[in-house]
Amino acid sequence: MIYLDNNATTKVLPEVRNEMFKYLSEEYGNPSSKYYSLALSAKKALDTARTTVATIFGCSSDEVIFTSGSTESNNMIIKGLADVTEKRTIITSCVEHSSVLETTKYLEKKGFNIVYLPVDKDGRINVVDLKKSINEDTFLVSIMWVNNELGSINDIPTIANICNEKNIFLHVDATQAIGKIDVNLPKGVSSASFSAHKIHGPKGVGAIILRKDQDGVPVKLTPLIHGGEQESGYRAGTQSVHNIIGLSKAVEICMRDFKKNQKKLLEDEIWVKKILQNKLGSKLKINSPENGKVPGIINFQIKGVQNTIFLKKISKEIAASSGSACSITRPSYTLKAIGLSDEEIQNSVRFSLSPYEDISELNKIL
């Protein structure tokens, strides 16, 4: 089978799997225990993993908080900040991941004012709209770095500069950005989230980069999970050491293979588009923007063909999707937001590629 749903999840690389196995079979100690070697070894492994993640984001290792993934991370930031402030306004976009949008909808019911910024035809917010929306009651801006359905990139450096000038907390969902673009965090980004399973690591683990303030003071935040003192008191519970090691190895590979992977994804995207154009001709319409996007994501329409029927018919040969795996039963609100009609949305499919897919496999699409 040709696997073209890498934005939903990726296969675990052998290097990652091998690194994890040691911490399942031999180094199984609890890193919160003391004195004995198994515990100390686990603690050391976590410290090393924290440093690796800090390197790719350009932050300090004590600003890395391990979680179960981006969904938990996004919930933790938004709910945790809302709980410790008297301000009531959050600004986000109408095309964020459901873990952000469902959380803000929850807070709306609690009396918070949520501003949902519109996006252009490519799925990006307008920074002018952001500036106009900020007021004295705003305490949080939450914007995705890369759109998970279209691949379009938001101008995070400019957004960060605006939030920094206004002294507003900026959270960035970097789930689809890591491994595809440089994620060294610009000044003004207060936190960022990502999941390991989007970068050929294991499921069930991710991280928040939670930067200290300008005086080096940790951010005040109500934990989503109460209990022990793990993760600097931000997240209780025994750390899943083997998963964190897998995440760390996946991040290490991201950094090592970054340029090679970018080139491969771009070449493969061009090749797959050529196949689609040759096969479908005038029936094909590409939804993803040509410029200002990450390589490897192709969102397209087959005019007159319903995506559910198409995806079922190809399912024995090709694994693909109609959009976000977290909103699979509903029409894409992202495609609606960029101006597509209901019929165009029903005809839309997303291919998301992996740099570790062999070109001979892609040729089978023919």
**Which residues are designated catalytic?**
326
Any bridge partners for residue 286, and if so which?
A: 300
Residues 355 and 6 sit within 8 Å (Cβ to Cβ): no
207-228 residues labelled b (16+ CB within 10 A) or e (exposed): bbbbbeeeeeeebebebbeeee
Strand arrangement, sheet containing 297-302? 284-286, 297-302, 348-352
Place of tokens 């090691």: 245
Question: How far does CA 181 lie from the centroid of its chain?
Answer: 12
Distance CA 65, CA 319 (A): 33
Place of tokens 């490897």: 296
Cα 334 to Cα 95, 120, 287: the distances in Å are 5, 11, 11
Which tokens belong to 311? Answer: 């995806």
Q: Which residues contact 3 (CB under 8 A, 6 or more apart)?
A: 11, 319, 354, 357
Distance CA 70, CA 208 (A): 8
Q: Which residues contact 131 (CB under 8 A, 6 or more apart)?
A: 162
SS (H, E, C) 226-239: CCCCCHHHCCCCCC
Distance CA 59, CA 171 (A): 15
